Amino acid sequence: MRYLILATAIAAAPLAAFAQDDPVAQAIKARQGFYTMLGANMGVLSAMAKGDMEYDEEVASRHAANIEALTQYDLPMHFIEGSSNADVEDTAALPAIWEDMEDFRAKFAALGDAAAGAGDAVRGGQENIGPVLGQLGGACKACHDQYRD
């Protein structure tokens, strides 16, 4: 019996951790985690493009494919009402997002367009990474310039 209680407590612990967060804190954590993943995959591609990391076709393709996959996730759903940097701390999301959510979504869709085919495009040589990074980076910047503090 004691084991059963212990097992139940362990299983419930992660759920409890989520339940303690309010929806706004939760949404901010989710979207920042998403961007951290984007950045981590971009970072490896960038290191390879610069020659700081040896070009490896499989590794490059994996990271570019991760970015492609991430852009299929519905990230804008985590930009819920009341979660701008005018409402709460610990976020860089500008209120401008909520003034034109349609454009914000369009900017995210543009990242998806930029990422389409990236997993294959970075194959075939180190020199193929740069153009992909340039395309992706342009889409990151277009949104950051307007919507990130």
Residue 56 or 100 with smaller CB distance to ligand HEC: 100
Nearer to ligand HEC, 7 or 100 (CB): 100
Q: What angle do CA 123, 129, 131 make, to 5 degrees?
A: 120
Among 28, 64, 118, 122, binds ligand HEC (CB under 6 A): 28
Query: Which sign does the torsion angle of CA 140, 61, 74, 18 carry?
Result: negative
Q: Does 104 bind ligand HEC (CB under 6 A)?
A: yes
Using the Cα atoms of residue 38, residue 136, residue 57 and residue 67 in order, give the sign of their dihedral: positive
Report if residue 111 touches ligand HEC, rule: CB under 6 A.
Answer: yes
Q: Are 64 and 132 in contact (CB under 8 A)?
A: yes
Distance of alpha carbon 56 from alpha carbon 17, whole angstroms: 39
Q: Which of 25, 30, 32, 103 forms a contact with ligand HEC (CB under 6 A)?
A: 32
Q: Binding of ligand HEC at residue 139 (CB under 6 A)?
A: yes
What residues contact residue 117 under an 8 Å CB cut-off, 6+ apart? 68
Looking at 48, 91, 98, 129, which residue binds ligand HEC (CB under 6 A)? 91
- The contact set with ligand HEC (CB under 6 A) reads 28, 31-32, 35-36, 38-39, 42, 91-93, 104, 107-108, 111, 136, 139-140, 143-144, 147-148
